Amino acid sequence: MDILVIEDNHQLQKYLLEYLQAYGFAPHILSDYDKLVEAIQEVAPKLILLDINLPQFDGFYYLRLIRKQCNIPVIILSARSDEADQIRGIEGGAYDYITKPFSAGVLIAKINGLLARETTGEENLRVGEVLLSQSAMTLSHGKKTVELSKNEYKMLALLLMRAGQYVSREDMLEALWDDVTFVDDNTLTVNISRVKKRLGEIGLGQAIATKRGVGYAFVSNN
Write the pLDDT tens digit of every residue in 42-93: 999 989 999 999 988 999 999 999 988 888 889 999 999 888 999 999 888 8
Write the pLDDT tens digit of every residue in 142-199: 889 999 988 898 889 888 877 777 888 888 877 776 544 445 667 888 889 999 999 9
Q: What is the pLDDT of residue 179?
A: 47
What is 2-107's CATH superfamily?
Response regulator (3.40.50.2300)
What are the DSSP E strand ranges found in the chain?
2-6, 26-29, 47-51, 74-78, 96-99, 124-127, 130-133, 138-141, 144-147, 208-211, 215-218
More confident residue, 122 or 96: 96
The CATH fold assigned to 122-218 is: Arc Repressor Mutant, subunit A (1.10.10)
All structural domains of the chain with their residue ranges:
2-107, 122-218
What is the sign of the dihedral through the CA atoms of 97, 100, 103 and 105?
A: positive
**SS3 label, residue 63:** helix
